Amino acid sequence: MLVLNKINKSYSENNVIKDFCFNFNLNQIYKLSGPNGIGKTSLLKIIKGILIEDSGTIKFKDKEKYRDKVSFVDSNNRSFFHRLSVKQNLSYFIALNKLRYEDEEIKALARELKIENLLDRSFSLLSMGQMQMISLMRGMLEKPKILLLDEIFSNLDEKNIAIICKFLSDFIAKKDSLIIFSSHAKDLPFDISEEITLER
Amino acid sequence: MFFIAQIKKDFLWDFSYKISFFGQFFGIILTVFTFFFISRTFEDSASTFLQEYGNNYFLFAIVGISLADLITLSLRSATKSIREAQAFGYIDSLINSRINPAYLVLCSMLYPCIIGIIKIFLYFLTANLFYEFQLSAFNSLIVIILSAFTLFSFLGLGFIAASFVLYFKQGDPINFLISLVASALSGVLFPVSVLPEYLRNISELIPLTYGLDMIRKVVIYNSFENIDLQDLIFMGVFSLIFLIGGILIINKTIYAIKLKGISGSY
């Protein structure tokens, strides 16, 4: 279980997250919703450790050191080396996270996401939607127990949304893990355990 | 092995800009050509300041330029790679990875360091076309080790410069100051003995002064007998102090930018 207790975060005078408490259970998918600027991305970034909370505690399975079990995937397609190929990019990020993969394992994951044909392409030649799929793949290569997805459906067509939703449903069914995602998209084709609406 | 992945990535990135990649080596010919004829101009007027370097201004200057090139190239690469990561948007992936940030900055300096050492040898090779001199394989290895050791003494300052860019984004005053002080006071193009005493005292605090002196004597006399152990110890102590300070500062900076939420801003 991932337990967030009395999380507070403010930027200058602006108190974005105030006393947020929630228990996230394993094998569940949670949706964060709420208007722009309400703190959805900040909350996800705090869970990953990209941002540090002003106060409060976060524990995963009763441990405070859990961040290497978290993957954060967002819709920022600039977070790759555009002049390198997809495979070269992934190899670098695999090394950055001290992981090891055989070529066949990478291909197998790409096959599941139906992007095997993109591996040898230059990243700069991909469409926004394809970049988003590669971004998710990079996150999955980190072997996460907690998968955080920030607005990843925004650049995707219906076909790719369906592929991702099926992939995420399979992931949750097979692994002892949880997914928290933020999105403005409605009627996504997978089972959401709970929707958490952030309010002022 | 992350450092291999970093070198490979940096090479692929650098090589993808073909003109810039090959262009960086062509400048060497022009520099060597220029300094050969400058040294020829003053060949007959032997300077007492150059006596300990065998009155060989040509090799004196080539060693100075090539080593200064290595230091500035490697130090600037650390801040340049952070700046690129901020601008392109992958800085969060880097500083939140499982690799220690100081190690990451260190690794980002490896590829430019390799290029810098290749350039040193290209400088020597080109210089040999203008002025024949001998440098044994063993002494070449000594030159590489001394160059790397000199660079190592600037590593901590590289971390401090990287921390500055992580927090303040634009501007790189640390590297600017290092380049300025090192090129003016450590004897890159002229011997430090030429300087007035008060400036000589400052130059004695800069590790590049000792690195240049030792490498010059190895290259000019094709011998490592002039290497001073005391100088090496000074460089080692200097490296250690700044390295510890640099690691502390970079870790504090990363904590501060995560707290303020400004890691991704540029």
| pLDDT at residue A173 is higher than 90 | no
Residue A174 has what pLDDT? Answer: 81
Mind telling me how many Å the CA of B250 is from chain A's nearest CA?
16
Residue B264 has what pLDDT? Answer: 75
Residue A199 has what pLDDT? Answer: 81
Question: What are the tens digits of pLDDT across the range B212-226?
Answer: 999 999 999 999 888
Question: What are the tens digits of pLDDT across the range A51-93?
Answer: 999 999 999 998 888 888 999 999 888 889 999 999 999 999 9
Q: Which H helix or E strand runs over B243?
A: helix B229-260
Q: Chain A partners of B96 at a C-beta cutoff of 8 Å?
A: 48-50, 67, 72
Chain position carrying tokens 């995707």: A156
Burial per residue of A140-169, b for 16 or more beta-carbon CB atoms within 10 angstroms, e otherwise? bbbebbbbbbbbbbebbeeebbebbbebbe
Taking only Cα atoms into account, the Rg of chain B, rounded to an integer number of angstroms, comes to 19
Among A63-67, A194-198, B27-31, B259-263, the range of highest mean pLDDT: B27-31
Residue contact B16–A95, C-beta within 8 A: no
The vertex-B7 CA angle with B2 and B13, nearest 5°, equals: 125
Question: What are the tens digits of pLDDT across the range A88-146?
Answer: 999 999 999 999 999 999 999 999 999 999 999 999 999 999 999 999 999 999 999 99
Chain position carrying tokens 């690129």: B84
| pLDDT at residue B171 is higher than 90 | no
Chain A residues bordering chain B (beta-carbon distance below 8 Å)? 11, 42, 45, 48-52, 54, 67-68, 72, 76, 78-84, 88, 91-98
Residue contact A68–B98, C-beta within 8 A: yes
Q: Chain B partners of A72 at a C-beta cutoff of 8 Å?
A: 92, 96
| pLDDT at residue A13 is higher than 80 | no
User: What's the pTM?
Assistant: 0.88
HSE-CB of A158 using CA atoms within 13 angstroms: 1
| pLDDT at residue B107 is higher than 80 | yes
Question: What are the tens digits of pLDDT across the range B79-95?
Answer: 988 998 888 888 988 98
Closest chain A residue to B1, measured at CA:
A95
- List C-alpha distances in Å: B200 to A90, B187, B195, B197: 51, 10, 6, 5
Residue A111 has what pLDDT? Answer: 95
Tokens at A127, concatenated? 């469409």
> What does residue B256 show for φ and ψ, rounded to 5 degrees?
-65, -40
Residue B203 has what pLDDT? Answer: 93
Residue contact B2–A95, C-beta within 8 A: yes
Q: Which residue from A52, A83, A96 is facing B16, i.e. has the nearest CB?
A: A83
Tokens at A103, concatenated? 């070529």
Residue type (1 letter), A123: F
Residue type (1 letter), B153: S
The ipTM assigned to this model is 0.87
pLDDT-based confidence at A14, cuts 50/70/90? confident
At A184 the three-state DSSP class reads: coil
